[in-house]
């Protein structure tokens, strides 16, 4: 039961953090495509990890599906929007924010999630870090393509 509450709390807290975004509608219009793209990318990775038994969740397939959904459309989606908002399109700042966040996630947070028996990843932490950091760089490239296709999104909302 504690595992369920932790997953749900992560989902709710991440969406509550959106309250602190200024001009929410404009920020969502600008960053929702990249956030959905990144969620789709991670969903494919979860599928691969699940198929090859590199990611396990206690409680079977149903718990694994719930965990994936709550993480993808909770913290992962919201943090993608936050990281793009905070970096304001500057690559080095975006890379630094993701470097710090991905290091924290790949090492202490994954270890904590294992300890609470939320889920286990059977990949070395450094390899997992490299994967999620590569995802972040891919997301930045995708956002730049979107901004070139839809130039009006380049006008960042005023704070």
DSSP state string for 45-109: HHHHHHHTT-EE-TT-HHHHHHHHHHHIIIIIHHHHHHHHHHHTT-HHHHHHHHHHHHHHIIIII
How does pLDDT run across 37-54, given as a tens digit for each residue? 999 999 999 999 999 999
How confident is the model at residue 158, as a pLDDT? 46
* pLDDT (0 to 100) of residue 63: 87
Q: Is the pTM of this model over 0.85?
A: yes
Which has more pLDDT, 71 or 99?
A: 99
35-39, 121-125, 148-152: which range is least confident on average? Answer: 148-152
Quick check: 72 pLDDT over 90?
yes
| pLDDT for 16 beyond 90 | yes
Mean of all residue pLDDT scores within the chain:
91
**Is a pLDDT exceeding 60 seen at residue 81?**
yes
Handedness of CA 100, 101, 106, 109 (dihedral sign): positive
Q: Rounded to whole angstroms, how far apart are CA atoms 120 and 56?
A: 5
Q: CA-to-CA distance for 77 and 32, rounded, in angstroms?
A: 8
pLDDT of residue 119: 87
pLDDT at 78 over 80: yes
Specify the long-range contacts of residues 142-151, CB closer than 8 Å, at least 24 apart. Answer: 142/33, 142/34, 142/37, 142/38, 143/31, 143/33, 143/34, 143/84, 143/89, 146/33, 146/34, 147/89
pLDDT at 157: 53
DSSP class of 116: T
Residue 3 has pLDDT above 70, yes or no: yes
């Amino acid at each position: 039961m504690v595992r369920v509450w932790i997953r749900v709390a992560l989902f709710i807290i991440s969406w509550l953090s959106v309250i602190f975004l200024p001009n929410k509608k404009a920020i969502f219009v600008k960053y929702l495509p990249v956030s959905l793209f990144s969620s789709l990318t991670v969903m494919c990775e979860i599928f691969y990890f699940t198929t090859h038994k590199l990611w396990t969740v206690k409680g079977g397939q149903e718990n694994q599906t719930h965990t994936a959904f709550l993480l993808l459309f909770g913290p992962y989606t919201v943090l993608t929007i936050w990281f793009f908002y905070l970096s304001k399109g500057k690559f080095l700042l975006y890379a630094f924010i993701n470097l710090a966040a991905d290091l924290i996630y790949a090492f202490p947070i994954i270890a904590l999630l294992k300890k609470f028996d939320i889920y286990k990843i059977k990949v070395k932490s450094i390899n997992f870090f490299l994967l999620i950091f590569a995802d972040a760089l891919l997301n930045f490239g995708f956002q730049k393509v979107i901004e070139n296709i839809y130039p009006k999104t380049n006008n960042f909302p005023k704070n």
